[in-house]
Chains A and B, each alone.
Chain A
Amino acid sequence: MRYLAPTTLDDAIQLLSGDPGDCRVLAGGTDLLVRLRSGDAEPDSILDIKRIEDLRQITKEDGGWLIGAAVSSAEMNEHAELKAAYPGVCEAADLIGSTQIQGRCTLAGNLCNASPAADSVPAMVAVRAVARVAGPNGTRDVAVEDIPTGPGKTSLEKGEFVASIFLPAKPDRSGDAYLRFIPRTEMDIAVVGCGLSLTLDNDGTCTDARVALGAVGPKVMLVDAAAEALIGTKLDDAAMQALSKACSDAATPIADKRGTVEFRTHVAGVLARRAAAIAKTRAEG
């Protein structure tokens, strides 16, 4: 195996697309190194992107935020402005693994690992996050929900990788939130996760919403019916009930050791309602 550590994005693209064998991108390594150890992955090369200065930055762009693929969850949560702008995305990243894992793990890695239970992914989808994909034919922007295609699988072409995550500007009086259910208080994989964002007008009427569920299907699920249940309402009890029902109706979970189908279906609705309440409070400022 070769270890490659380019210092520019162009060099990284050339090395990745020019590699004849199996070349894996190393960001935080919290999934890749586990796979190396288990023999699950036996790459010919590893491309470490952490020495590319641009990918280590959190920068403002068009009123939104660009988060490099090598930025750790801990760095995000130490960035006061980013946390204030996107509390839901930051709190989701802050739920990945332990303190030690959060010192390494990245949004881009969490996305490309393509686990249906990835915590940060529903949170990103809820705020219309965009993956900036670098490859031999240039850069393309892809909606975050279109990167994973199923457990462990992504839509990235050979030679492509996610160089950064863009969180676009959002209107005033917007709020986002992420909640997950796990049977313990920390260090576990989501049984259900829900990312939600909404915007209110000056009367408190919801003018826009996005609701995304994790761990209740083969990939993150954007639930349009759940957003429609909120838009045009004042987020009263009836709207919250409709939101819950839309999420439970949309859930198509499997049963495994962490939860049954019935439990996950029910919890999807409960988490959505609770996340909406938090997002509402944040939107009201």
Chain B
Amino acid sequence: MNAIELRNLTKTYPQFTVDNVSLDVKKGYITGLIGPNGVGKSTLIKMMLGMIRPDSGSIKILGRDMPKDEVDIKQDIGIVSDDCFYYEHLTIRDSKKMIAPFYKKWNEKKFNRYLEQFELSPNKKIQDLSKGMKVKFSLAVALSQEAQLLIMDEPTSGLDPVFRREILDLLADIMQDESNSILFSTHITTDLDQIADYIAFINRGKLVFNEVKDEVLERFAIVKGDSQLLDSDIRKKFVGIRETAVGFEGMVDNRQEAELLFGNYVVFDKPSLEEIMYFTAKGGRIHA
């Protein structure tokens, strides 16, 4: 079962293109959408939400077609973004009054509980909230509409580590119900190193991979060793490689093969998602 199904999505801009992206977001899991800034993550999300119309391709969310069933779909998705789109001059209470009637399943009790938990005063104006508080508020709204799918666009950028931890706990709470799904777009991959189930990696408008996170972390390996081990054939085995005066550090996407090739002459390290993103995004040889 897929919460989101993108098929051959294409959108061309003068400077950049989302190129034939097909992506499944599995129901019941957290999928992390990663990639450097400005490679198409936001465009993809905006297409899912119907803000941007794709040139071609199809979008299915929770089994329904976008944009045909847009209204039904949006009843069931909660959106948390680092851009706050609420009216700045309104208080939290007024904003809630504005938003709540749109949702059939709005849960007032839940909303008040989250306000308390997040220490948000209903009398505060949106413009007086810090960035973290704005995210908390939009999270409270999303969770109170009883959404089955949370779409989070860079929710943790600009947040302090304490609250980022809190969010991860909250997300795990939501995932106790296996009919819920989360798509979490971010360039801060440390959040996802822990909790994500799937990782979808977007680079330069294309989907590089969408796989189980554990498998990604096991498949890739960081190889460190003496530059003398490298020749042009061996360099080709690396997804990305960084050579300096004191040796090389590269990433391979097939750890087993690399272990056979290098044996004990090099050191193998588990990569972080950040390293996978770094080496893949840079590609080829990186000169330091």
Bound pair (A, B): no
Chain A residues at the B interface, C-beta cutoff of 8 Å: none
Chain B residues at the A interface, C-beta cutoff of 8 Å: none
